[in-house]
Copies of this chain bind each other. A is one copy, B any other.
């Protein structure tokens, strides 16, 4: 099953001629999640051939414009193109009022059902669940209420080892074996030991999105050993005072968190417009955590099963 992240924007708040504001697309199987939605996201979706009609969940981390000013246009276009599939929108308190105010003055009655889920950005809590994944908030520390998101596949079914399966097993028993159970006979004695006929399931992949925030170690337990961590890295560490003042992070801090959390890969983004060349940010992060990449426009990362 696909588990792929695509970056639509790498810029922090002040725009740059060749960078876009934050937006990411996380595809898990047939489900497309949009994470943040900076201005012009709908055009970036077109550019990278992501069909907005297939998006089922939108997660907004906070109400600074560079993370959600593209939402109005995207929702309007979905409406103009007569979307009918329901859409989940997750965001902090206030987003609902902002949208409702706009729709009222534009006389917009959306063509689809938009379900708004107000987030408590101060806690680590599950906010979404379906057959395949869960999504939890990650409390960030920024100038306004802000949270990240942890996407994690649910535990998967064990693999049946066909050569070792006795022929008498019923379909219902096979289902129980995949779920990890032993098969007992009518008197309760072991008939087939699960370990003898199944092998380990595919692992459950995970992605943690952390933006915008100052360096914050208390989220380490939540992001421990994730496959992929995105962490904002607005500044180089030589500007760590400015990072602290504006409640952002440096590339060094992002990498330090990645190392302490023992994640597999790190992506850094949300770069200040002052950095025309991003190499110093990448090198700074790699000096602490080697498996780091820049989250630049169009970058796509697939996590294999």
Q: Which residues of B contact A77 (CB under 8 A)?
A: 13-15
A211 at the interface (CB under 8 A from B): no
- The stretch that binds B, out of A100-108, A117-125, A129-137, is A100-108
- The stretch that binds B, out of A26-34, A39-47, A150-158, A295-303, is A39-47
Cross-interface CB contact of A15 among B39, B43, B97, B107, cutoff 8 Å: B43
Chain A window 73-85, contacts with chain B (Cβ cutoff 8 Å), 1 for yes, 0 for no: 1001100110000
A63 at the interface (CB under 8 A from B): yes
Q: How far is the CA of A65 from the CA of B92 in the complex (A)?
A: 22
Q: Which residues of B contact A40 (CB under 8 A)?
A: 39-40, 43
Residue of B nearest to A63 (CB): B105
Q: How far is the CA of A21 from the CA of B13 in the complex (A)?
A: 21
Q: With a 10 A CB-CB cut-off, give which of A17, A64, A73 has the most chain B CB atoms.
A: A73
Q: How far is the CA of A93 from the CA of B43 in the complex (A)?
A: 29
Q: Are B72 and A65 in contact (CB under 8 A)?
A: yes
Cross-interface CB contact of A144 among B47, B94, B105, cutoff 8 Å: B105
Residue of B nearest to A143 (CB): B107
Q: Which residues of B contact A106 (CB under 8 A)?
A: 63-65, 144
Q: How far is the CA of A250 from the CA of B101 in the complex (A)?
A: 31
Residue of B nearest to A67 (CB): B106
Q: How far is the CA of A15 from the CA of B39 in the complex (A)?
A: 13
Q: Are B46 and A17 in contact (CB under 8 A)?
A: yes
Q: How far is the CA of A101 from the CA of B17 in the complex (A)?
A: 28
Cross-interface CB contact of A43 among B17, B95, B143, cutoff 8 Å: B17
Q: How far is the CA of A63 from the CA of B65 in the complex (A)?
A: 19
Given A13-B80, A39-B72, A98-B101; 7 other pairs, CB 8 A cutoff: A13-B76, A13-B77, A39-B69, A69-B69, A97-B101, A98-B98, A98-B105
State the A residues within 8 Å of B (CB).
13-15, 17, 21, 39-40, 42-43, 46-47, 63-66, 69-70, 72-73, 76-77, 80-81, 92-95, 97-98, 101-102, 104-107, 143-144
Q: Which 6 pairs of residues, A with B, have the shortest CB-CB distance?
A: A94-B105, A39-B73, A63-B105, A65-B76, A40-B40, A69-B73
